[in-house]
Structure 1
Amino acid sequence: MERREIKTREDIELLVNSFYDKVQQDEVIGFIFKDIAKVDWARHLPTMYNFWESLLLESGSYRGNAMEPHFRINKKIPLEAAHFQRWIQLFEATVNKLFTGETAALAITRAKSIGEILLFKMNSINHPDPNNKKIPLVNPGNQKG
């Protein structure tokens, strides 16, 4: 199969379907989708088509909160760096196998950014910093100057 540019909804669907085929079979993260999230693929895949089409082709077809489902899953099983790293590896491998060009590079960049943001948010929940005390607010009336 010759690599091509990501230009259409059909390209997005090929990317998403190919990626999640790998995810479902993966020994590191597959169980999260199958056993923990119990993903309804008939519902999830069209949402992912809209999400990636909005991010890469600026379609505006995604309406939702991408973070919220991850917080729900994280309550059932802590989502850790290894999970996000594997997700990125599979995504990048899928993009590189099927596509080329600027939009393909953008897909990888956006996926890495999303993974980093999600990991940061999950780490702050799963591994709170005990030294991170709230900075007390200064009462302006008690300042000496």
Structure 2
Amino acid sequence: MPDITTRKDIELLVDKFYEQVIEDDTIGIFFTEVVKLDWNVHIPIMYDFWETILLDNMVYKGNPMLKHIQLNQKKKLQPQHFERWLELWETTVNNHFEGPKAEEAISRAKQIASLMKYKVENIS
């Protein structure tokens, strides 16, 4: 399997991840009912976010922490939501990629989830 090296790789990863997320019994509701995302807007933002994180190409402009604090005000994010998000992310990465960037994608997601969990519990 290849490693994550290009924007196309990021797009595949994000697309495959969100295919699982929207069907998921634990976290899907946040994306389909609580926020009712416009996927044509959200997915390219996620491409940019992960491209910035993993490929050091600074294309993401936004504040993901603020978005998740606002989400938490609509419907409380629980520890199991972060755990499921990470489980789906790690499975998706491992199903499609291997190598240093794939490992980084997993470790960075763990850092992001940990920080977001802390912030929504202590700021919201």
Q: Which has the larger radius of gyration?
A: 1
The two structures, once aligned, show a CA RMSD in angstroms of 0.9
Aligned equivalents of 1:125, 1:81: Cα separation in 2 = 15
Residue type at the aligned position of 2:74: K
CA distance in 2, matches of 1:27, 1:120: 23
Aligned equivalents of 1:67, 1:124: Cα separation in 2: 12
**Distance apart, 1:45 and its partner CA:** 0.3
Match of 1:71 among 69, 76, 87: 69
Residues 27-66 of structure 1: matches in 2 within 5 Å? 27-66=25-64
- Residue 71 of structure 1 deviates from its aligned partner by 1.0
The offset of 1:125, in angstroms, is: 4.0
What TM-score, normalized by structure 2, do the two folds share? Answer: 0.97
- Superposition deviation, residue 94 in structure 1: 0.1
Give, in angstroms, the shift of residue 96 of structure 1. 0.3
Q: Percent identity?
A: 45
1:115-126 mapped onto 2 (5 Å cutoff): 115-125=113-123
- The 2-side partners of 1:14 and 1:101 are apart by 16
CA–CA distance in structure 2, aligned partners of residues 125 and 51 of structure 1:
23
**Please, which runs of 5 or more residues in structure 1 have no aligned partner?**
127-145
Are positions 1:102 and 2:100 aligned together?
yes
Matching residue of 1:7: 5
Alpha-carbon distance, 1:8 to partner: 0.5
Aligned residues: 124
TM-score, with structure 1 as normaliser: 0.83
- Is the CA contact (8 Å cut-off) linking 1:88 and 1:115 kept in structure 2? yes
- Decide whether the 8 Å contact of 1:54 with 1:60 is kept in 2: yes
Structure 1 SS opposite 2:64 = coil
- Write 1 or 2 for the structure with the bigger share of helix: 2
In structure 2, stretches of 5+ residues that fail to align are none
Aligned partner of 1:141 in structure 2 is none
> In the alignment, residue 54 of structure 1 is paired with which amino acid?
T
Instruction: Give the 3-state SS of the residue equivalent to 1:67 in structure 2.
Output: helix
Which 4+ runs in 1 deviate beyond 4 A? none
Note the C-alpha offset of 1:72: 1.1
Code of the residue aligned with 1:113 in structure 2: it is: Q
Q: Is the 8 A contact 1:80 1:122 kept in 2?
A: no
